[in-house]
Amino acid sequence: MYEGAVQDLIDELGRLPGVGPKSAQRIAFHLLAAESADVGRLVAALQRVQAEVRFCVTCYNVAEGEQCRICKDPRRSDDVICVVEEPKDVVAIERTREFRGRYHVLGGAISPIEGVGPDDLRVKELMTRLMDGAVTELIIATDPNLEGEATAAYLARLVGPLGLAVSRLASGLPVGGDLEYADEITLGRAFEGRRRIDA
Ligand SMILES: [Zn+2]
């Protein structure tokens, strides 16, 4: 619709989550009219996250080094892994102080509508971690919505043959919501009252 650089910018913005074509166009023209110092700060912030922030090689949480601080912490127990969708869910669960094991960040949830399948998530990597036998319990803490439930059911079936204790966070979490929006007490209770899934 537009020429060259402007259209490229609109296309790139439109690929961001939650940014539709109209918003992409509005942001693009906002940036075109903006002061060059403002645009410079945005570019610098994008370059910094690219250069400095990465994902933990073990659990895929955000990390400043090879491993995140949770994976590096020797006081945490290796026999239980809590599976979450995004790094922000790790933050939400850490706030409850109910969990002292390790995490595994899937990078999303299964969603046929958005074309996200198990191969798009870090499921293989989770299976690899479970193979060495150190882990005896898996807590599935995906979001309490359709995609989160589908992902939990899929994982429970997949790991069933491994003979681990598999549990899902208890009810009480707002249905259809996002883990990060649950308050600490509700999320803490859901953790304590987690239900065993028999695959
Ligand atoms: Zn980690």
Boundaries of every domain in the chain: 62-168
Tell me the CA–centroid distance for residue 24 and ligand 1, in Å: 34
Distance 103 CA to ligand 1 centre (A): 7
35-79, pLDDT tens digit by residue?
Answer: 999 999 999 999 998 888 899 999 999 998 899 999 999 999 999
Write the pLDDT tens digit of every residue in 113-131.
Answer: 889 999 999 999 999 999 8
User: What's the CA-to-centroid distance between 38 and ligand 1, angstroms?
Assistant: 34
Give ∠ CA 115-148-55 in degrees, rounded to 5: 75
- Domain covering 62-168, topology: Dna Topoisomerase Vi A Subunit; Chain: A, domain 2 (3.40.1360)
By percentage, how much of the chain surpasses pLDDT 70?
94
Q: What is the pTM of this model?
A: 0.74
DSSP-based three-state secondary structure for 26: helix
Nearest in space to 104 (alpha carbons), one of 137, 75, 74, 133: 137
Q: What's the CA-to-centroid distance between 33 and ligand 1, angstroms? A: 41
